[in-house]
Structure 1
Amino acid sequence: MYTILLVDDDSTTIKLMRYMLENSRFPVLRIFEASDGKEALRIMREYGADLVITDISMPYMTGLELCRQLSGEFRYTPAIIVSEHDKFEYVREALVCGVKDYLLKPLSKDRFLSSVRRTLEELPETVHTIGETSDRWRGLAEAWVEAVLQDNRSAQEKAGRKWLASLHGVPPYLCLKWHSAFHRILLQSAGAKLEREVECSLPPYHGQNGTDLTNWITADFKALQHAVKLAAYTDNQRTIYNAQKYIQQHYNKEITLEELASSVGYSAPYFSYLFKLKTGISYMAYRTQLRLKRAQELLLKSDKSMPQIASEVGYNDVTSLIRAFKKELGYTPSDYRKSGLV
Structure 2
Amino acid sequence: MYNILIVDDEPLICKGLGNLLQSSGLNIKEIFTAGSGHEALDYLRMEDIDLLITDIQMGAMNGIELMHQAKIIKPWVQAIVISAHETFQYAQLAIKLGAKDYIIKPIKSEQFLDSVREVLLHMDKPLPAEGDLISQLREHFRMETPGPQRTERLNAVLSGQEAVPEESELARLGLAGPYFAVVKVKLDPDREQSGHRYGDGDEALLQYAALNIVNELLGKDWRYDAFYTPGIEVSVLIHWDDASFGDSSVDKINQLELIGRSLHHNISKYLNLPCVVGISQILKGAAFLPALGEQARKAILWNREHKDHHVFYYGDFKWSLFGKEPTEEEWAEQNNQIVEKAMAYIQQNFAQKGLTLHEVAQRNHVSPNYLSYLFKKNTGFNLWEYVIKLRMEESKRLLQQTDLRRYEIAERVGYESPEHFSKIFKKYYGISPSELKK
Ranked by relative contact order (alpha carbons within 8 Å, sequence separation 6 or more), the top structure is 2
TM-score calculated relative to the size of structure 1? 0.40
Give the structure with the higher percent helix: 1
TM-score calculated relative to the size of structure 2? 0.32
